[in-house]
Amino acid sequence: MTLNRNPAYTVERVGADEKSFVDVFELLLQQHEEIALAPFDQQKAVSQVWQALCDGMTFVARKDDGKAVGTLSLAEVEWWFGKHTYLTDRWFYVLPRYRRGPVGHLLLRAATAEADERKIPAFVDVVNPNRRHKKTSATLQAIRAGYLPVGYTLKLR
Amino acid sequence: MQRGSETKFRIERAGTDEKSFVDVFDLMVALHKESGFAPLKGEKAVREVYSVLCEGMTFIARAKDGTAIGVLSLTESPFYYSEEAFLHDRGFYVRPRYRCIQRCSAGSKRSAAVHLKAKHHHDTEP
């Protein structure tokens, strides 16, 4: 199902089929190569990615030639203080050469639509330890205290 | 167990005793009041807070008079792609009037947030 259309890119919700799995897994391998904090355990990763696809809230951005260039997967979890739920990202990744363009935005829009449909809040972490830090007040305070921010959280709904 | 700080605050690791629970729960209720996105259900919140205390990685910042003014609670989770684990926060809250690290001068007037962060860093270093 195509959720968003842009002259160059489409975002689709992917299911638990072989092509979707391969596309998503390849993107996540590249993410791991770029920003991993621990060794890759293939068996565990395969199982986790497949489970995410089965949950039905994984989106893939494709170029007009069909190449997968980004992915965002959501999970619905309960608040620690109650029975209500919210959406949070399992992962959010866009290939480096497609950043600073519409790809990430289209994926976030798909996530927002999902949250709207479920009528619950959604939060997505945008994490890139290699990014140059923006000079926000919070960033400067953290750096002054000896910590490097690795990203920020977006509230989509 | 008390941890060192400068003169205004001290950091201690919270246990599963009643006082620790009450202090942490009060702070978490204040956090919810300030930034909760859904209603608080007492029974579940109590269970979650107690379970976090049992993990033994909850730190409380106290003012000189013993008042609890901040909390940072950690838990260990595995990466989705690995058997290795990392620490992340289950709750990080400092009462609004103790957040003034920009207005405070360096040294003894640093805020509780800075102390809590420093504590976290110290405890997670290899």
CATH architecture of B2-124: 3-Layer(aba) Sandwich (3.40)
Q: Where are the domains of chain B?
A: 2-124
Catalogue the E-assigned strands of chain A.
2-5, 9-14, 58-63, 68-78, 85-94, 122-127, 151-155
pTM for this predicted structure: 0.84
pLDDT digits (tens, 9 = 90+) for A9-68: 999 999 999 999 999 999 999 999 998 889 999 999 999 999 999 999 999 999 999 999
Residue A28 with chain B: CB contacts under 8 Å? 81
B59 has which bridge partners?
A: B13, B72
Token pair listed for B15: 């246990």
Does B81 contact chain A (CB < 8 Å)? Answer: yes
ipTM passes above 0.90:
no
Which chain A residue's Cα is nearest to B28? A81
Per-residue pLDDT of chain B (126 residues; tens, 9 = 90+): 455 445 689 999 999 999 999 999 999 999 999 988 999 999 999 999 999 999 999 999 999 999 999 999 999 999 999 999 999 999 999 999 998 654 444 443 444 455 555 544 443 333
> CB-based burial of residue A13 (10 Å sphere; 0-12 exposed, 13-18 middle, 19+ buried)?
middle
Among chain A, residues having any CB pair with chain B shorter than 8 Å are: 28, 32, 36-41, 44-45, 48, 79-84, 86, 90-91, 121, 137, 141-142, 144-147
Q: Which of B48, B80, B86 sits opposite A80 (nearest CB)?
A: B48
pLDDT digits (tens, 9 = 90+) for A80-118: 999 999 999 999 999 999 998 999 999 999 999 999 999
Structural domains in chain A plus CATH codes: 2-155 (3.40.630.30)
- Whether A36 sits inside 8 A of B83 (CB atoms) is no
Residue A37 with chain B: CB contacts under 8 Å? 79, 86
DSSP assignment letter at B105: P
